[in-house]
Structure 1
Amino acid sequence: MTGPVVVGIDGSSTCTSAAWWAAREAAVRQVPLHLVHSWTTQPHGMPGGMEAEGQRRYGQDVLRQTATELLHRYAGLRLTTEMVAAPAAQDLLDRSRDAELLVLGSRAPGSAAGFLLGSTARHVVGLTRCPAVVVRRDDPTVEVGRGPAGAADRDEIVVGVPEPGPAADAVLEFAFTTADARGDVVRAVTAVRRFPGAPDDGDPRAGLAAALAPWQVKFPGVGVVERVAAGPADQVLLTSCARSRLLVVGRRPHPSHVAWELRPTVHAAVRHAPCPVAVVPHG
């Protein structure tokens, strides 16, 4: 059985954008959408000191209002809601074992005020078992309310492809599955570094083609654009996103659930990409 798309909401405009993106993705994938609110985790900017009963009422109102708006737009959507007492990050990580994907809200790219709403989303993106999609507030690719998304010309899923192997397979499976459901093109990107005296590690274009080959057979209806470019991986990926509806990057597993960090490419993608970013665990 396919798991649901799970999105954590807190009533903020940031999480509203994430909820609308998640609703459309669940509708396209034909899977359930599950809205979760942690009443013990205060939304960013909410005045402190609210009593427990008031926090619960607030959470119930947020869930009810969000569900009503989403069902008005996506009438056939299978939608459930749940209010939990567990901290938001821990609850979402627990759900990542069975979810199709998690969806999280983000502030504006490069915001100095904080990264991904602070520690909650950092923790989730760094440790989730399933892919996590980060959606920033007012993202032009996101359809909110009854109006259309503002970037209708975006029709590509950009994916950063490492060397052939389990890491490449994980991100390519997610990218091709998403593109197939949406009718988008996959732009597969590999970054290479060349410097004097560096050993020749083969033709990177041949390596990219080899990594793509089985997925092109499995998804023959998905168009593919290949790009191999020299430079740091984060810069190469960000310059490939002009027509991107979604950027897909991989994340290595962490040996510890206490000490972890996002590698620079993932960190840069989430902070600066002009579209939602899917972080796919692999290995």
Structure 2
Amino acid sequence: MVPCLVAGVDGSEQSLAAAAWAGREAVRRDLPLRLVHVWDWHPRRQDGAIAAAAGRHLARRTLRQAEEWVRAACPDVRLQDELVEGPVVTALVKEAERAELLVLGSRGLSGFTGFLVGSVALGVVAEATRPVVLIRADEDAADEHLPATDGSASTRTGYRDVVLAVDVADACDETIEFAFEAARLRHARLRAVHAWHRPGPLSLGAGEIGLVDDPRQAEEWLGFLRAVLRVWRDKYPDVAVLETVAEDKASTVLVRAAAEAGLLVVGHRLTERPVGPRTGPVTHAVIHHVGCPVAVVPHT
């Protein structure tokens, strides 16, 4: 199967913004973009062929609207579309498995025509085995770029930073590689961020860095972060990297770091849980509070 990007569309402002972002990303990656609308049809006893045909017609119209929107915003993209039937989360997770990445609006409409309500988007992120990027409704091309010298929005300036969340105690190659590649494609700086906190006296072991003062702890964590990224700096010598560490909750640090970013990249560990797949607390928090696009990269 030819690699591609997939964008889920439902006619909402969020999904159209997601489709436009996916079009720009597809051009950056030199890949086709497939627009997908999930038609979750639940016929009632009184429904007949006419009602089914009307529903399918509305679904097709949603796809055509999204295709026209993307072509207007990104005329160079190679575009396909597909109407998919089935439960929404299951269908989108399956589409993600066929793609380099899946792009969704972070919110959507409720009711007949909408599917990307919060629980569905979170469900897809929790179950997907391929990267998922979430886009907000007001995202446009200029938001990926630095402002012009007069402070106005522009698409002619350089790209904003790609921010990468790194847990130096559990660093994930898939997440790091995704962020470096995103920065390379944009000729953007990669800002790698690690959040640390002072351990309590009962959690310290012999020789642990919690025994030193705060400035030295920060330097120790920064050294660990640089060590984790050293091999990736060698693989991506053209990517400018800024490593930063901060003492605070991880979600707070990432929300602050992403305030001026073009993309935030976080990892999501795929684990079997008694209550089924779910997002971790940090991923859940940044999805709800970060304003820029968020790429959630699954790993084992």
| TM-score normalised per structure 2 | 0.81
Structure 2 CA distance, aligned partners of 1:250 and 1:270?
Answer: 12
| Cα distance, 1:236–1:2 mapped onto 2, change above 3 Å | farther
Pairing 1:1-283 to 2, within 5 Å after superposition: 3-40=3-40, 51-107=51-107, 117-139=117-139, 142-143=140-141, 148-149=142-143, 152-153=146-147, 155-163=160-168, 167-197=171-201, 198-199=203-204, 200-201=208-209, 203-255=220-272, 259-283=276-300
Which amino acid in 2 is paired with 1:52? A
Q: Which has the larger radius of gyration?
A: 2
The alpha-carbon deviation at position 41 of structure 1 amounts to 6.2
| Cα distance, 1:257–1:62 mapped onto 2, change above 3 Å | farther
Which one has the bigger helix percentage?
2
Q: Is the 8 A contact 2:11 2:65 kept in 1?
A: no
The alpha-carbon deviation at position 95 of structure 1 amounts to 2.0
Structure 2 CA distance, aligned partners of 1:258 and 1:101?
Answer: 26
Q: Residue 112 of structure 2 corresponds to which residue in structure 1?
A: none
Q: Is the 8 A contact 1:37 1:59 kept in 2?
A: yes
Q: Residue 111 of structure 1 corresponds to which residue in structure 2?
A: none
Give 3-state SS (helix, strand or coil) of 2:134's partner: strand
Structure 2 CA distance, aligned partners of 1:14 and 1:182?
Answer: 23
Which amino acid in 2 is paired with 1:160? A
Structure 2 CA distance, aligned partners of 1:8 and 1:219?
Answer: 31
The alpha-carbon deviation at position 92 of structure 1 amounts to 1.4
Which amino acid in 1 is paired with 2:35? L
Give 3-state SS (helix, strand or coil) of 2:292's partner: coil
Structure 2 CA distance, aligned partners of 1:23 and 1:258?
Answer: 36
Structure 2 CA distance, aligned partners of 1:107 and 1:94?
Answer: 20
| Cα distance, 1:107–1:72 mapped onto 2, change above 3 Å | closer
| Cα distance, 1:119–1:257 mapped onto 2, change above 3 Å | farther
Using the aligned pairs only, state the percent identity: 38
Q: Is the 8 A contact 2:144 2:262 kept in 1?
A: no
Structure 2 CA distance, aligned partners of 1:132 and 1:234?
Answer: 19
Choose 184-193 or 99-108, whichever is displaced more. 99-108
| Cα distance, 1:136–1:209 mapped onto 2, change above 3 Å | same
The alpha-carbon deviation at position 119 of structure 1 amounts to 2.7
Choose 124-133 or 233-242, whichever is displaced more. 233-242
Which amino acid in 1 is paired with 2:167? P
Which amino acid in 1 is paired with 2:242? V
Q: Is the 8 A contact 2:6 2:103 kept in 1?
A: yes
Q: Is the 8 A contact 1:155 1:244 kept in 2?
A: yes
Structure 2 CA distance, aligned partners of 1:257 and 1:90?
Answer: 19
Which amino acid in 2 is paired with 1:152? L
Q: Is the 8 A contact 1:169 1:211 kept in 2?
A: no
Structure 2 CA distance, aligned partners of 1:79 and 1:184?
Answer: 26
Structure 2 CA distance, aligned partners of 1:80 and 1:257?
Answer: 38
Tell me the number of residue pairs that the alignment of Structure 1 and Structure 2 aligns: 264
The alpha-carbon deviation at position 7 of structure 1 amounts to 0.9
The alpha-carbon deviation at position 51 of structure 1 amounts to 2.8
The alpha-carbon deviation at position 36 of structure 1 amounts to 0.4
Structure 1 residue runs of 5 or longer lacking an equivalent are 43-49, 109-115
The alpha-carbon deviation at position 106 of structure 1 amounts to 1.5
Give 3-state SS (helix, strand or coil) of 1:260's partner: coil
Give 3-state SS (helix, strand or coil) of 2:258's partner: coil
Q: Is the 8 A contact 1:40 1:55 kept in 2?
A: no
Which amino acid in 2 is paired with 1:194? R
Structure 2 CA distance, aligned partners of 1:281 and 1:107?
Answer: 21
| Cα distance, 1:278–1:68 mapped onto 2, change above 3 Å | same
Give 3-state SS (helix, strand or coil) of 1:31's partner: coil
| Cα distance, 1:204–1:178 mapped onto 2, change above 3 Å | same
